[in-house]
């Protein structure tokens, strides 16, 4: 599921009355937004335990990452509605929309969120939430929700499927242990063609009966086969490693994700850390098959040579390209990736890795003189941490 268009964040505006109320109450809501988000999830999961059991990732809930992501999206969107100089959260909402379609989220579920979010705001802020204030914040929510709903409909339509109809039975035909922590799986099913860099949501039923979902980048595949590399770090990945073998059937969703290799003749710079190499492998595979003469620079950081799970695959793909430079750094040896030491002028840059890595790389790129900066910078987040990187 992919389109080149992005969510239309400017299609609807608040009424003048609602805008003034949001301006007046935004500081108070912003100060308490994470508490509001935490209260909201508690209310929603109490009323709809099936959502935590079968749709939301319990690990992200336990860590608080999901709450922070929701808080960031609401506060950022509300700010944009009342401040013409505020950044447009279009890229943030595009990421959210892709995550949603990869989980099969449908329009009716937005009402469930609304019916638990507004009471959470009232509970946290107390008497300050008058009926007029509640009405104004409800308007903010529905404008944001409608932006997402409309874009998600477009994404579902791009693969010709009904809204939410993205789960497919996937048979495991290969399982290869790459390192102590990373395992590769090859899945076959009735999929759709993935764009280079996209991911699939894998669903497994755990011992307690819960269906838990986790998204993994597709490192190669077509409409009948997805290949993924999974780092063992949570309920889903542990279940896959310990209980799923060749011949077993799991669930996988149609490919989604906004981090997609652009069709371009500009140089491509791929930057990754650890298991963040997975979307880059998908991009390299696509380049090797379709554009072998494009200039490519791949920068990767890992703890050691032993933990670089996809080194062999990456070097093999790089060897199929006519103009590919591969640079690796080992953190255990104190080596660092210095992106400013390389020519990024006019390049399309793609980044994937942990929070600190992403922030450090983006800061390095931002420090470049305008004449030395790349044409575009895109990145993938492996957890709902939009509150950290916008």
CA distances 187 to 59, 190, 304, Å, are: 24, 10, 29
Same domain assignment for residues 373 and 273 = yes
- Residue 1 covered by a domain: no
Same domain assignment for residues 108 and 208 = no
Using an 8 Å Cβ cutoff, are 355 and 382 in contact?
no
Same domain assignment for residues 142 and 200 = no
Mean pLDDT score of the chain, rounded to an integer?
91
- Residue 109 covered by a domain: yes
Kindly tell me if the per-residue pLDDT of 328 is higher than 90: no
Per cent of the chain over pLDDT 90 is 74
Q: How far apart are CA 153 and CA 266, in angstroms?
A: 31
Same domain assignment for residues 33 and 118 = yes
pTM of the shown model: 0.93
> What per-residue confidence (pLDDT) applies to 3?
97
Same domain assignment for residues 192 and 305 = no
Same domain assignment for residues 326 and 357 = yes
Same domain assignment for residues 96 and 210 = no
Same domain assignment for residues 333 and 203 = no
Same domain assignment for residues 145 and 203 = no
- Residue 214 covered by a domain: yes
What digits encode the pLDDT tens for the residues 161-215?
Answer: 999 999 999 999 999 999 999 999 999 999 999 999 999 999 999 999 989 999 9
Structural Rg of the chain based on CA atoms: 21
- Residue 386 covered by a domain: no
Same domain assignment for residues 232 and 292 = no
CB atoms within 10 A of CB 370: 5
Q: How far apart are CA 34 and CA 30, in angstroms?
A: 8
What digits encode the pLDDT tens for the residues 120-159?
Answer: 999 999 999 999 999 999 999 999 999 999 999 999 999 9
Residue of 41, 110, 199, 298 with catalytic role: 110
Using an 8 Å Cβ cutoff, are 194 and 282 in contact?
yes
Mean pLDDT over residues 114-118, rounded?
A: 93
- Residue 3 covered by a domain: no
List the Cα angle 134/137/143 in 5-degree steps: 140
- Residue 8 covered by a domain: no
Number of domains the chain contains: 3
- Residue 376 covered by a domain: yes
Token pair of 83, please?
């401040």
Higher pLDDT, 59 or 221: 221
Known catalytic residue at 141:
no
Residue 117 Ramachandran class (φ > 0 left, ψ -120 to 50 alpha, else beta): alpha
Least Cα distance to 239 among 57, 61, 101, 103 occurs for: 57
- Residue 2 covered by a domain: no
Residue of 34, 41, 65, 152 with catalytic role: 152
Using an 8 Å Cβ cutoff, are 252 and 198 in contact?
no
> What per-residue confidence (pLDDT) applies to 388?
46
**Which range among 52-56, 62-66, 281-285, 362-366 shows the weakest confidence by mean pLDDT?**
62-66
> What per-residue confidence (pLDDT) applies to 383?
57
Q: Which domain holds residue 290?
A: 268-380
Residue 122 Ramachandran class (φ > 0 left, ψ -120 to 50 alpha, else beta): alpha
State which of 158, 182, 198 marks the end of a domain: 158
Domain at 148, CATH number: 1.10.490.10
Same domain assignment for residues 290 and 335 = yes
State which of 158, 189, 208 marks the end of a domain: 158
Q: How far is CA 60 from the centre of its chain?
A: 13
Domain at 284, CATH number: 3.40.50.80
State which of 196, 228, 253 marks the end of a domain: 253
Same domain assignment for residues 95 and 171 = no
> What per-residue confidence (pLDDT) applies to 253?
98
> What per-residue confidence (pLDDT) applies to 71?
77
Least Cα distance to 154 among 3, 8, 9, 12 occurs for: 3
Mean pLDDT over residues 366-370, rounded?
A: 91
3-state secondary structure the chain: CCCCCCCCCCCCCCCHHHHHHHHHHHHHHHHCHHHHHHHHHHHHHHHCHHHHHHCCCHHHHHHCHHHHHHHHHHHHHHHHHHCCCCCCCHHHHHHHHHHHHHCCCCCHHHHHHHHHHHHHHHHHHHHHCCHHHHHHHHHHHHHHHHHHHHHHHHHHHHCCCCCCCCEEEEEEEEEEECCCCEEEEEEECCCCCCCCCCEEEEEEECCCCCEEEEEEEEEEECCCEEEEEEECCCHHHHHHHHHCCCCCEEEEECCECCCCCCCCCCCEEEEEEHHHHHHHHHHHHHHHHHCCCCCEEEEEEECCCCCCCCHHHHHHHHHCCCCEEEEEEEHHHCCCCCHHHCCCCCCEEEEECCHHHHHHHHHHHHCCCHHHCCCEEEEECCCCCCCCCC
Known catalytic residue at 110:
yes
Domain at 239, CATH number: 2.40.30.10
């Amino acid at each position: 599921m992919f389109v080149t268009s992005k969510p239309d964040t400017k299609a609807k505006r608040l009424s003048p009355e609602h805008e003034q109320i949001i301006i007046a109450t935004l500081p108070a809501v912003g100060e308490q937004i994470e508490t509001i988000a935490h209260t909201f999830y508690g209310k929603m999961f109490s009323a709809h335990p099936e959502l935590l059991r079968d749709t939301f990732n319990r690990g992200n809930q336990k860590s608080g990452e999901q709450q922070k992501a929701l808080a960031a999206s609401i506060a950022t969107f509300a700010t944009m509605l009342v401040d013409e100089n505020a950044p447009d959260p279009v890229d943030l909402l595009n990421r959210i929309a892709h995550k949603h379609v990869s989980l099969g989220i449908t329009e009716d579920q937005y009402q469930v969120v609304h019916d638990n979010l507004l009471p959470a705001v009232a509970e946290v802020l107390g008497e300050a939430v008058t009926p007029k204030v509640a009405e104004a914040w409800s308007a903010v929510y529905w404008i944001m929700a409608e932006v997402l709903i409309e874009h998600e409909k477009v994404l579902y339509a791009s693969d010709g499927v009904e809204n939410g109809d993205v789960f497919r039975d996937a048979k495991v035909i290969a399982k290869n242990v790459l390192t102590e922590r990373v395992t590769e799986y090859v899945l076959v099913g009735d999929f759709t063609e993935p764009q280079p860099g996209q991911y699939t949501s894998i669903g497994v039923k755990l011992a307690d009966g819960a269906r838990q979902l986790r998204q993994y980048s597709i490192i190669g595949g077509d409409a009948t086969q997805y290949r993924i590399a999974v780092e063992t770090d949570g309920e889903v990945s542990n279940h896959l490693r310990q209980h799923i073998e060749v011949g077993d059937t799991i669930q996988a969703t149609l490919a989604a994700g906004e981090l997609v290799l652009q069709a371009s003749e500009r140089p491509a710079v791929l930057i990754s850390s650890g298991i963040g190499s997975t979307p880059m492998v998908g991009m390299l595979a696509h380049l090797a098959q379709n554009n072998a003469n494009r200039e490519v620079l791949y920068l990767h950081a890992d703890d050691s040579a032993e933990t670089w799970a996809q080194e062999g695959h990456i070097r093999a793909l790089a060897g199929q390209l006519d103009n590919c430079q591969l640079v690796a750094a080992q953190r255990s040896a104190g080596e660092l990736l210095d992106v400013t030491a390389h020519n990024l002028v006019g390049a399309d840059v793609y980044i994937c890795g942990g929070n600190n890595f992403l922030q450090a790389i983006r800061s390095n790129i931002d420090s470049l003189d305008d004449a030395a900066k790349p044409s575009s910078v895109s990145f993938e987040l492996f957890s709902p941490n939009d509150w950290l990187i916008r």
